Amino acid sequence: MTDTLMPGLYIVATPIGNLGDLSPRAAHVLANAALIAVEDTRVTAGLLRHIGVKRPMMAYHDHNADRVRPGLIARLGGEAIALVSDAGTPLISDPGYKLVRDARAAGHAVVTIPGPCAAVAALTLAGLPTDRFLFVGFLPSKAGARAESIAEIASVRATLVFYESGPRLAATLAALADGLGDREAAVTREITKKFEEAVTGTLSSLAARYAEAGPPKGEIVLVVAPPGEPEAASAEDADAALAEALTRLPASKAAGEVAKRLNLDRKALYARALEMKGDQA
């Protein structure tokens, strides 16, 4: 691997706990970048000490991004600049997407150096479906806004992944139980560290556990199971819905409307609608 990096923006994933998870490729980019854009220079300095290098760093975070970004873009034409977060993959619940967007718009190369991500790592620990998932990040801290956000995702048929802090965990679990129903969930924390754990149970049981035990320490990822399959409507419910729809619509449209609303087979409903119309005649 050559020491020289081509000019461009390098998105570098860093360890979420265990420094041994830094990939050789990530270490190579950090050791040879002209500049490293970081959330917190103190955190990244520790990582650089771990691999035995010193590189120039510049703070890049939510509070200064708009001011700093033009200067970074200007330098990309002739320099390799690495972007890191304090832990994990940049842009995942961290600033950075505007930097990537503007770098591409200016014609600069953007290279990803994949690696640790707390959201994905938590999914591997939770024992919940992973074929479809939605990363939500942090919910709002105020109760009203949090309830609205939960209501927006209540019907999403996917496993849900949240970031959360220890002091807010019990309240968030209780709010999720209220807004989503008492689904299966997992509270994962300290991923890749010595005291890594994944505590599983229903949302209500986990809320009670952490309300009693107090806030846990460490970084927390909360994984919540998708909603269960909706109960099939009974024949009586289907007939009642069809009878009402037939007062307004022809048989075909009535069957389509009821099929969509009750999640039933349209062809079967159409046949039943014709039967009902025949009985009425």
Q: What is the average per-residue pLDDT within 132-158?
A: 95
Residue 258 inside a domain? The answer is yes
Where does the pLDDT of residue 73 fall: very low under 50, low under 70, confident under 90, or very high at 90 and above?
very high
What per-residue confidence (pLDDT) applies to 199? 97
Using 50, 70 and 90 to split pLDDT, how confident is the model at 231?
low
Let me know whether 188 and 146 are in one domain.
yes
Check residue 112 and give its pLDDT.
98
> Is the pLDDT score of 281 beyond 90?
no
Which region among 2-11, 155-164, 224-233 has the lowest average model confidence (pLDDT)? Answer: 224-233
Q: What is the pLDDT of residue 280?
A: 67
Same domain, yes or no, for 144 and 205? yes
Residue 62: give its domain's CATH number. 3.40.1010.10
Q: Which of 116, 138, 170 is the last residue of a domain?
A: 116
Q: Is the pLDDT of residue 14 over 70?
A: yes
Q: Averaged over 108-116, what is the pLDDT? A: 97
Say yes or no: 92 and 123 in one domain.
no
Residue 104 and residue 20 share a domain: yes
Q: Looking at the DSSP assignment, which residues form a beta bridge with residue 159? A: 133
- pLDDT band at residue 6 under the 50/70/90 scheme: very high
Q: Is the pLDDT of residue 24 over 90?
A: yes
pLDDT in the model for residue 230: 62
Q: What is the pLDDT of residue 26?
A: 98
Within this chain, do residues 108 and 156 fall inside the same structural domain, yes or no?
no
Q: What percent of the chain has pLDDT over 90?
A: 84
Residue 137 and residue 220 in one domain:
yes
* Spatial separation of the C-alpha atoms in residues 126 and 191, rounded to whole Å: 12
Write out the E strands in the chain.
Answer: 8-12, 35-38, 57-59, 80-83, 110-113, 133-137, 159-164, 184-189, 197-202, 220-224
**Residue 12, pLDDT above cutoff 70:** yes
**All residues at 6 or more sequence positions from 155 whose CB lies less than 8 Å from its CB, including other chains:** 227
Residue 229: inside a domain: no
- Domain end point (choices 69, 94, 116): 116
**What integer pLDDT is reported at residue 235 of this predicted model?**
87
Supply the CATH number for residue 198's domain.
Answer: 3.30.950.10
Please report whether residue 1 resides in a domain: no
Domain assignment of residue 3, yes or no: no
Give the pairing of strands 133-137 and 159-164.
Answer: parallel
What mean pLDDT value characterizes the chain?
A: 94
pLDDT digits (tens, 9 = 90+) for 172-229: 999 999 999 999 999 999 999 999 999 999 999 999 999 999 999 988 999 999 998 6
Out of 84, 116, 148, a domain closes at 116
For residue 17 the two structure tokens come to 């706990």
Q: Which domain holds residue 74?
A: 8-116
| Block residue for tokens 């009985």 | 279
pLDDT of residue 48: 97
Same domain assignment for residues 73 and 32? yes
Residue 1 pLDDT more than 60? no
Residue at 43 is within a domain:
yes
pTM given for the model: 0.80
Please report whether residue 255 resides in a domain.
Answer: yes
Is there a single domain that holds both residue 112 and residue 12? yes
Q: pLDDT confidence of 4, banded at 50, 70, 90?
A: confident
Q: Are 183 and 225 in contact (CB under 8 A)?
A: yes
Same domain, 20 and 95: yes
When divided into structural domains, the chain yields a total of: 3
Q: In this structure, is residue 142 part of a structural domain?
A: yes
Question: In the structure, what pLDDT confidence band is assigned to residue 278 with cuts at 50, 70 and 90?
Answer: confident
Residue 263 is predicted with a pLDDT of 80
Same domain flag for 142 and 109: no
> Does residue 2 form part of some domain?
no
3-state secondary structure of 281: coil
Classify residue 183 by its DSSP letter: -
